[in-house]
Amino acid sequence: MKNLTNKIHETFDQGKGILQLIPVFVPRRFSKAGRRLRLHPDDYYALGTKRGSIKERWFSSVIPAMNGELAPPDEGMSYVLPFSENLSEKFQLKQAVDELKDGIVGSELMNKYGGWPMYSKFFDYLAPLFHHLHLGSHVPFLFQSRDQLHRFRKLQELHRAISFVAQMAKCLALTRNRILSVSSLCKS
């Protein structure tokens, strides 16, 4: 651990506060890649077809992609190239933030968020992304069983379906009775 601490401080000091991040590419199993990330054509499926094609590039990430059971636990996390430029000595941006604290983030952000508060992504999907929701990591723990979580997700799907029907009804000026009959179909 002492070597890592020294490496982090050396890289930060030698770079005068600027860290060189190693590019992070994340595959997704759904959709097709738009091929605008300018990867070599062979590299879009560099991790195999079971992992899907690379469709995202992440920047300054201190959180994992949580990309399924085939993904490594650090997928999506940014790594810092040490000042020695030896890739075998790389370390995570999260480790640098945990070590340097407000020296890298600043006291205001450190006090407010306790670490690095954001990251960015370039999306490269061929088709537009579908509507989806990112629930906080605490949400699954609110449920005592997988069945409760499953019912919660089904209710979310039902809510989205009913919201969609309501929007369509508004657009088409349907009567209240028609809306109720359509929403009852969604419940079954």
Average pLDDT for residues 47-56, to the nearest whole number?
A: 93
Strand order in the sheet with 24-28: 24-28, 53-59, 120-123
User: pTM to 2 decimals?
Assistant: 0.68
Assign 19 a pLDDT band (cuts: 50, 70, 90).
very high
User: Is residue 161 in some structural domain?
Assistant: yes
Co-location of 171 and 88 in the same domain: no
What radius of gyration, in Å, describes the C-alpha atoms of the chain?
A: 22
pLDDT at 164 over 70: no
Q: Work out whether the CA dihedral 103, 104, 109, 115 comes out positive or negative.
A: negative
Co-location of 14 and 57 in the same domain: yes
Average pLDDT for residues 30-38, to the nearest whole number?
A: 89
So what's the pLDDT on residue 14? 94
| pLDDT single digits (tens) 92-144 | 999 999 999 999 999 998 998 888 888 889 889 888 877 766 666 555 555 56
Average pLDDT for residues 56-72, to the nearest whole number?
A: 91
User: Is residue 21 in some structural domain?
Assistant: yes
User: Is residue 129 in some structural domain?
Assistant: no
Co-location of 105 and 145 in the same domain: no
User: Is residue 130 in some structural domain?
Assistant: no
So what's the pLDDT on residue 184? 57
Co-location of 90 and 177 in the same domain: no
Give the structural domain span for 151. Answer: 139-187
So what's the pLDDT on residue 50? 92
| pLDDT single digits (tens) 76-89 | 999 999 988 999 99
Co-location of 100 and 183 in the same domain: no
Co-location of 110 and 162 in the same domain: no
| pLDDT single digits (tens) 166-186 | 666 665 654 555 555 555 555
User: Is residue 38 in some structural domain?
Assistant: yes
Co-location of 96 and 166 in the same domain: no
User: Is residue 133 in some structural domain?
Assistant: no
Q: Work out whether the CA dihedral 57, 63, 68, 73 comes out positive or negative.
A: positive
| Helix segments in the chain, DSSP class H | 2-14, 93-100, 102-105, 107-113, 146-172, 176-187
Assign 157 a pLDDT band (cuts: 50, 70, 90).
confident
Q: How many domains does the chain have?
A: 2
